[in-house]
Amino acid sequence: MSDPAGTPWQLYAMPGNEARTDALVVRLGPRARRAGLWLHRFPDGESLVRVAPPPVSAALVCTLRDPDPLTVPLLMAAATLRELGAARLGLIAPYLAYMRQDRAFEPGQAVSARIYAAWLSGHFDWLLTVDPHLHRIDSLDRVYSLRSRVVHAAAPLARWIAREVAQPLLIGPDAESRQWVSEVAASVGAPMLVLDKQRRGDLDVSSRLPELSRWAGRTPVLLDDIASSGRTLAVVLEQLRGRSMAPAVCVVTHGLFAGDALELLRAAGAARVACTDSVEPPPGVERIALDAELAAALPELCDLSQELLP
């Protein structure tokens, strides 16, 4: 993961991504190092970015939770690295934003998944992310014109569940969760079920649990790719109350926990909440690290980008 002359790849951490970047550098060893990036916010909300000069190859590290205030300085940093000589530039975004709006549901709506993909594709040569929230888009290549690689969190989630939860019953809260719930269940050797969900608004969600007596004594593990408002998981947790089962555990790939989401899950009956560190877990949420999986995917991406050299 270094330039032909042996200069290490430089990873630039956007603010809030320093620990993640340092962990990747440790995993990659002498092939990579963290370089300086500084962000100044003016009182009127504008940003000023400064970066250390790059070698030919570089990557920005920025998980895209709360993307609106992050995207402008991210693209400024990318453009500045290009101006300073980066011929190959990647983006390591463990959480990739703006994937839900993949078509216009009402006349005049922006298709933000496609628009945001065009912005990032115009500034980067490759993208590394973790389990993007795909709906009707079956592959990132449908909207992103850069090279992309997806790290799957199923194996780390399965290892955590196998280690931490006795006699789990995996529950997917909606049909979209079936793919990764099936994979985790097969790895853990646990039974699973997937519910039907009806969403009538951002905070209006309903679903129905089947009869669970055949799984009495098992620990329900609610498994979802994203916890944002927390309503999808809370609806299932509330239905589990009074069942002959151990207290429920929530395991999430991307723990956004907007607003009072975490408090809502606790109040609804979640005994434990765990998520990957694609987004920095808040206090009280157990961490499932992805450093090894991200670092393992980087050399292939960097080798593929060699052809981008002039």
CATH classification of the domain holding 284: 3.40.50.2020
Residue 3 lies in a domain: no
What is the per-residue pLDDT for 100? 84
Q: What is the predicted pLDDT for the residue at 206?
A: 54
Q: Are residues 138 and 161 in the same domain?
A: no
Q: Verify that 282 and 185 share a domain, yes or no.
A: yes
Same structural domain for residues 140 and 15?
yes
Q: Are 34 and 13 in contact (CB under 8 A)?
A: yes
Is residue 216 included in any domain, yes or no? yes
Q: What is the dihedral of CA 130, 131, 137, 139, to 10 degrees?
A: 60
> What confidence score (pLDDT) does residue 102 get?
81
Residue 306, number of CB atoms within 10 A of its CB: 11
Total count of domains within the chain = 2
72, 47 in Cβ contact below 8 A?
Answer: yes
Question: What range defines the domain where residue 197 resides?
Answer: 154-288
Three-state secondary structure of the chain: CECCCCCEEEEEECCCCHHHHHHHHHHHHHHEEEECEEEEECCCCCEEEEECCCCCEEEEECCCCCHHHHHHHHHHHHHHHHHCCCCEEEEEECCCCCCCCCCCCCCCCCCHHHHHHHHHHCCCCEEEEECCCCCCCCCHHHCCCCEEEEECCHHHHHHHHHHHCCCEEEEECCHHHHHHHHHHHHHHCCCEEECCEEEEECCEEEECCCCCHHHCCCEEEEEEEEECCCHHHHHHHHHHCCCCCCCEEEEEEEECCCCCHHHHHHHHCEEEEEEECCCCCCCCCEEECCHHHHHHHHHHHHHHHHHHCC
* Residues 118 and 73 both lie in one domain: yes
Query: Per the structure block, which two tokens stand in for 98?
Result: 């703006």
Mean pLDDT by 10 residues, the chain (310 residues): 66 96 93 94 96 94 96 98 95 94 87 94 97 80 92 96 96 84 94 75 58 87 93 90 86 94 95 96 95 92 52
Residues 298 and 267 in one domain: no
| Within a domain: 160 | yes
Q: Residue 53: its pLDDT value, please?
A: 94
Active site residues: 197
Pair (191, 265) in one structural domain: yes
In terms of domains, do 194 and 228 share one? Answer: yes
Structure tokens at 140: 């990132």
In a domain, 1, yes or no: no
304 in any annotated domain:
yes
Q: Is residue 260 domain-resident? A: yes
141 and 230, same domain (yes or no): no
Domain annotation covers residue 4? no
Tokens of 7: 């200069």
| Judgement on whether residues 211 and 241 belong to the same structural domain of the protein | yes
Whether residues 19 and 147 share a domain: the answer is: yes
Res 202: pLDDT:
46
pTM, rounded to two decimals: 0.91
Residues 170 and 203 in one domain: yes
Structure token digits, residue 233: 């998981």
Do 256 and 298 fall into the same domain?
A: no
| Number of other residues whose CB lies within 10 A of the CB of residue 200 | 8
Angle between helices 18-28 and 291-304 (to 10 degrees): 70
- Closest alpha carbon to 13 in 130, 82, 123, 93: 93
